[in-house]
Amino acid sequence: MLLRVRKYAIILSPEAGGAVLLLNNETSDAVLPIGIDLHMGRIILDFMKRIPRKRPWTHDLMGKILSKCGARLNRVAIKDRKQGVYSAVIHIKAQGREIELDCRPSDAIALAICQRVPIYVSERLLSVAYVIKMKSGDEDPYKIRLQNLNPDFFKYKM
């Protein structure tokens, strides 16, 4: 079963050379953290903040291509995690049928935020996700930041 993400946030960590995307569906304290590269994290953050760009970015272009072809992005879903790697799909409506395409979670999320469509996460992934209140003493910079998150951090809502 897929659960709709209602709140999301991103932590940029230049010192660690990456970013963590945090997804939450509001029905629990579980937060699904997905590690992504720093560049993609900055792109997603810019989409979250609706920062205007002089030129279209790749995800803007993808949306325009879909539109010009008479298709539209319906939703994206983070479906699974195998051997530490998350998998995602985008759902496109074209010519009266729905097409499901495999992609990286960071691309799916960026495209969803850019195109303002719903994001879903599998219930199974959220059932094993981190809870905001984590054990203290963890040295990992992402875990430390997750532990100290203020609920107001989730200000970007779908």
- Let me know: does 18 contact 34? Beta carbons within 8 Å: no
Q: What pLDDT score was predicted for residue 68?
A: 94
Q: What pLDDT score was predicted for residue 148?
A: 61
Q: What pLDDT score was predicted for residue 28?
A: 72
Q: Which helix (H) or strand (E) holds 127?
A: helix 123-127
- Going by C-alpha positions, the residue among 58, 20, 23, 24 that lies closest to residue 36 is 20
Query: For residues 33 and 88, which has the higher predicted lDDT (pLDDT)?
Result: 88
CA 33, 38, 43, 46 dihedral sign is positive
Distance from C-alpha of 12 to C-alpha of 15, rounded to nearest angstrom: 9
Q: Would you identify the CATH topology of the domain 2-153? A: Bifunctional nuclease domain (3.10.690)
Say yes or no to pLDDT of 137 above 80: no
Distances (CA, A) of 87 to 10, 55, 64, 146: 18, 29, 24, 22
111 pLDDT band, cuts 50/70/90, is very high
Q: What pLDDT score was predicted for residue 32?
A: 87
Distance from C-alpha of 6 to C-alpha of 23, rounded to nearest angstrom: 8
Read off the pLDDT of each residue in 37-48 and give the average, rounded to a whole number.
91
Per residue in 66-85, pLDDT (tens digit) is: 999 999 999 999 999 988 88
- Let me know: does 8 contact 19? Beta carbons within 8 Å: no
Q: With H, G, I as helix, E, B as strand and everything else as coil, classify residue 85.
A: strand
Q: What pLDDT score was predicted for residue 135?
A: 41
Q: What pLDDT score was predicted for residue 157?
A: 47
Read off the pLDDT of each residue in 127-152 and give the average, rounded to a whole number.
55
25: amino acid identity, one letter: N
**Predicted TM-score (pTM) of this structure:** 0.80
* Percent of the chain with pLDDT strictly greater than 90: 44
